Amino acid sequence: MWSKTLLSLASLAHSAYGAPVWNATSDFSSKCTALASSLSIPHGNVSSSALVTAGSTLQFPNSDPSCTRPSQSVSVDLCRVALTVTTSDRSSISMEAWLPANWKGRFLSTGNGGLGGCIQYEDIEYGASLGFATVGTNNGHDGMTGESFLNNADVVEDFAYRALHTGVVVGKKISASFYGAEHSKSYYLGCSTGGRQGMKEAQTFPGDFDGIVAGAPAMAFNNLTSWSSHFLPLTGLPGSATFIPLDMWPIIAQDVLDQCDANDGLVDGIMESPDLCDYNPEGLSCGVSGNSTNSTNSTNCLTTTQLQTLKSIYSPLLDASGDLVYPRLQPGAELLGAPQTYFTGQPFGASDWFKYAIFNDPNWDPMSLTPADYVLSSTMNRFNIETFEGDLSAFQQKGGKLLHYHGLADQVISSENSPRYYQHVSDTMGLAPAELDEFYRYFTVSGMAHCSGGPGAANIGNSARSSASLDPQENVLMRIVEWVEQGNAPETITGTAFVNGTAESGVAFKRNHCKWPARNKYQGSGDPNSADSWKCS
């Protein structure tokens, strides 16, 4: 299905962007083949440059299996460049640049996810299909674990910021060498770790991009990893008194909706403001009439100990001094994978940060995490990976535009951290929302899970998989281009939900997602599936 999506997007790209600024000629193939030998990249080794024709499927037999990217369909003719760049005497990055024949003069960098370790080929293809010279790196190591961080600060530094920035610098050089012209504008698109990378660029390398789209950013990274890792000692192992059985979570999910779904004016299974949900789980107590339990674990109720676990999950994480480490998990992600991500009694992948980057101990037990460890990680803040600088004045002054979004049903990174950062920028720079609007806008996407999916109108063009249209109002990548190049800033972002989650089944509903601090409310009449029946206020 996705190859069809890519081809349809590519066919729309011409009308969306106009004619290419660089016209491919009959020698496109030979020029591409010769590029590898003609490039001079400091500390770089260009292994190949090859023509890839539209309709091809690339295979990646040597890709780390944990990256789960064995192949990629390609929808446009392009020149694929693969290389490595040494970043120290014990670290390097692998990267690729995809240079489309229908180049529109724009440059795009993609990001990464989790602790990876993986070139996100699907995002590189998305950019290239739309006429961007597009690059991506492996973030300085291969695979989704943190094992490469062990006793190697240089690999940690690559992960924190250097891999992406190096890929941008090198990628721009490759693009200019191939096309014989500098790019007109430079853009970034990423989510999760990729969202953090985009924020890091705005904070630390403000000259790299004219426009940044940063989704569900893993900002406050040290504290985020403390939060995501603390759920294991909080819930305990299956069978322990503190553990909440997985089959209890659908009951919890319904209880959350019963209490909070109507806050936005409509009971539809989607919460527009989960941060306003003051969830009280006491009604699920096994002591409440109508609830039942057995001798081992609850069936449709929670013991007093399990209730305390649940209350802790929906409470901010504090250190031993009572200071905030990280906001709570927002209510509403119970059926979108939050229990399977955090509450199974298994270590979450990000605990590798503690194991290999903080303690340098492959035998460290994630169950042993303590509040003192939160402070240690935050204090170490290796290579300023926290990514929570509030002064974006350099990015503002160079004319940069930042489009930040977060799904309000995110099961991996609490959506309550994003407005906290927005407020931090506002406070640090002394700018009210109307003033921040000049260069920084944050949008809440109701019913969106982590970066994509969920019951809401979550298709906003942040990836090929999540694109319903190339209309800038419905596509965040197109919107950042329009904001940068035409000054048309977004007031809302229109998302699309498909019937049964598939584009082939047709549109179920659309919704205009609000620019913070506005909140979306159903107006009490009209078709709730129509975006016009909702208002941001």
* Residues carrying an active site annotation: 192, 410, 450
Q: Under a CB-based contact definition with an 8 Å cutoff, are residues 388 and 218 in contact?
A: no
From residue 408, how far is each of 334, 350, 380, 451 by CA, in Å? 12, 21, 30, 10
Q: CA angle 93-99-103, nearest 5°?
A: 140
CA distance 497 to 324: 35
**30-39 as b/e: b if 16+ CB within 10 A:** ebbeebbeeb
Q: Can you tell me whether residue 317 is helix, strand or coil? A: strand
Pairing of strands 185-191, 211-215: parallel
Q: Please name the residues in contact with 280: beta carbons below 8 A apart, sequence gap of 6 or more.
A: 259
Q: What are phi and psi of 273, to 5 degrees?
A: -140, 70
Nearest to 213 by CA among 237, 235, 194, 239: 194
Q: Under a CB-based contact definition with an 8 Å cutoff, are residues 183 and 160 in contact?
A: no
Q: Under a CB-based contact definition with an 8 Å cutoff, are residues 236 and 215 in contact?
A: no
Q: CA angle 439-15-21, nearest 5°?
A: 75
